[in-house]
């Protein structure tokens, strides 16, 4: 029997049996030497969200996930939260967001930024896809738990936070490289970081991370244009916080270089800024890392789901969602479709923050004011 790797847990509540089973399988996979679980850990395909995995030579795409580079960005608005005190202003902003920040794709193709167009992906088909889907999806939100939210800090200042990733490009890159895998252990496919196929995956991961970052910045630039044209204010770009939570990269831990895979977990090195959102009806936090070695210098990427989307849709009514997010501006026409994003389908963010007090220091607490989700 394979000896399981070392495990660190930072939990807000006991692990569900199916999570324990998934983590045990991961710990026994070839070359996995360390696993850290964040307090928002929950079951997902193959590898749980909220997992941090260290290996010496093997790369596991499933421990990154298909939304490579998914992350958050936050920036202050040059005005206070009274901007959105009335329904007319909120409705105008939401209408503009639907027009300028679509959930799926733009109507016309825009050229990719130089940071992307000047770098080749490892496969001809991926490069072709980048010129098609990559161009029309840059600056789009996506669906599920991806969001663009206006939030108020404790001094009344207004902030924008966006959560999105690499859209269909990340999925295509992952699917392509899973077919190139040269190994499998505990049902998890892997690549060697020392082979051409492994190096190709790592290169494409960096391309997807750049795409995801450019995607978030494009949406924030669209928000900036809306604020300037319709509200006579603008974003304060000097306050930008930007981080991602689905990646693999070479880092030094415990005196050795290891490949750190993060799936729904963000880096939290000493002094490193981070963003931890709650649900659409709960507070979010700006944090800095404490550099906790045992967590592989990582922290949660959010509150983490308590209910699956299926379970949430089965048990949470539209009326219950409206009750849970009372006081929040959002598109009430989408209430039925947003039931699986209800606050009660997520863990309590306050419990999550208490559980990881040794991983991060809170810099700022923010309350949701207006939430835009792609459905």
User: What is the residue extent of each domain of the chain?
Assistant: 6-306+346-373
Rounded to 10 deg, the angle between the 196-231 and 167-178 helix axes is 170
* Binding residue ranges for GMP: 145-149, 277-280, 284, 301-304, 373
Helix (H, G, I), strand (E, B) or coil at 267: strand
- What torsion, rounded to 10 degrees, do the Cα atoms 356, 4, 71, 247 define? 140
Neighbours of 65 (CB within 10 A): 26
Provide the strand spans (E) within the chain: 6-9, 32-42, 49-55, 58-59, 71-80, 147-153, 157-164, 183-185, 188-192, 235-244, 246-253, 256-263, 265-267, 273-276, 284-289, 298-300, 360-373
Residue 76 CA to its chain's centroid (Å):
19
Q: Which two tokens stand for residue 232?
A: 């006579």
pLDDT for 375 equals 76
Entry pTM: 0.96
pLDDT for 51 equals 99
Place of tokens 């992307």: 116
* Binding residue ranges: 67, 145-149, 163, 245, 277-280, 284, 301-304, 373
* Opening angle at CA 140, ends 137 and 141, nearest 5: 135
pLDDT for 2 equals 67
Q: List residues with catalytic annotation.
A: 301
The set of residues, in sequence order, having a beta carbon less than 8 Å from that of 152 and lying 6+ positions away, is 80, 81, 158, 159, 366, 367, 369
* Binding residue ranges for Mn(2+): 67, 146, 163, 245
Q: Which two tokens stand for residue 214?
A: 């450019």
CA distance 295 to 202: 23
Fold of 6-306+346-373: tRNA-splicing ligase RtcB (3.90.1860)
Helix (H, G, I), strand (E, B) or coil at 311: helix
User: What's the burial of 183, exposed, middle or buried (CB within 10 Å: 0-12/13-18/19+)?
Assistant: middle
pLDDT tens, the chain, 375 aa long: 467 889 999 999 999 999 999 999 999 999 999 999 999 999 999 999 999 999 999 999 999 999 999 999 999 999 999 999 999 999 999 999 999 999 999 988 889 999 999 999 999 999 999 999 999 999 999 998 999 999 999 999 999 999 999 999 999 999 999 999 998 999 999 999 999 999 999 999 999 999 999 999 999 999 999 999 999 999 999 999 999 999 999 999 999 999 999 999 999 999 999 999 999 989 999 999 999 999 999 999 999 999 999 999 999 999 999 999 999 999 999 999 999 999 999 999 999 999 999 999 999 999 999 999 987
Buried b / exposed e across 314-327, counting CB within 10 Å, b at 16+? Answer: eebeeeebeebbee
- What torsion, rounded to 10 degrees, do the Cα atoms 200, 205, 208, 212 define? -170
């Amino acid at each position: 029997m394979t000896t399981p790797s070392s495990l660190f847990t930072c939990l807000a509540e006991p692990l569900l049996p199916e999570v324990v089973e998934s983590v045990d399988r991961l710990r026994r996979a070839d070359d996995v030497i360390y696993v850290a679980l964040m307090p928002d850990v929950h079951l997902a395909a193959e590898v749980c969200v909220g997992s941090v995995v260290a290996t010496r030579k093997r790369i596991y795409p499933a421990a990154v996930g298909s939304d490579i580079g998914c992350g958050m960005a936050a920036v202050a608005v040059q005005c206070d939260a009274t901007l959105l005190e009335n329904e007319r202003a909120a409705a105008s902003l939401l209408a503009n967001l639907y027009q300028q920040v679509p959930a799926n794709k733009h109507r016309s193709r825009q050229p990719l930024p130089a940071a992307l167009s000047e770098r080749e992906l490892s496969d001809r088909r991926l490069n072709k896809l980048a010129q098609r889907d990559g161009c029309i999806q840059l600056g789009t939100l996506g669906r599920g738990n991806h969001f663009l939210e206006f939030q108020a800090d404790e001094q009344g200042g207004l902030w924008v936070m966006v959560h999105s990733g690499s859209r269909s490009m990340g999925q295509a890159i992952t699917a392509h490289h899973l077919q190139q895998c040269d190994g499998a252990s505990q049902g998890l496919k892997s690549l060697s970081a020392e082979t051409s196929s492994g190096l190709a995956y790592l290169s494409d991961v960096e391309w997807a991370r750049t795409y995801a970052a450019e995607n978030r910045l494009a949406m924030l630039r669209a928000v900036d244009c809306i604020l300037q044209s319709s509200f006579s204010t603008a974003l304060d770009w000097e306050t930008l916080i930007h981080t991602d939570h689905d990646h693999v990269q070479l880092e030094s831990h415990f005196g050795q270089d290891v490949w750190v895979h993060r799936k729904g977990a963000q880096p939290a090195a000493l002094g490193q800024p981070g963003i931890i959102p709650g649900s659409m009806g709960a507070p979010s936090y700006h944090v800095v890392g404490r550099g906790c070695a045992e967590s592989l210098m990582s922290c949660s990427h959010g509150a983490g789901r308590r209910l699956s989307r299926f379970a949430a849709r089965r048990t949470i009514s539209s009326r219950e969602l409206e009750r849970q997010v009372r006081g929040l501006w959002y598109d009430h026409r989408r209430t039925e479709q947003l039931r699986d994003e209800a606050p009660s389908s997520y863990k309590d963010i306050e419990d999550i923050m208490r559980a990881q007090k040794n991983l991060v220091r809170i810099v700022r607490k923010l309350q949701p004011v207006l939430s835009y989700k792609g459905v």
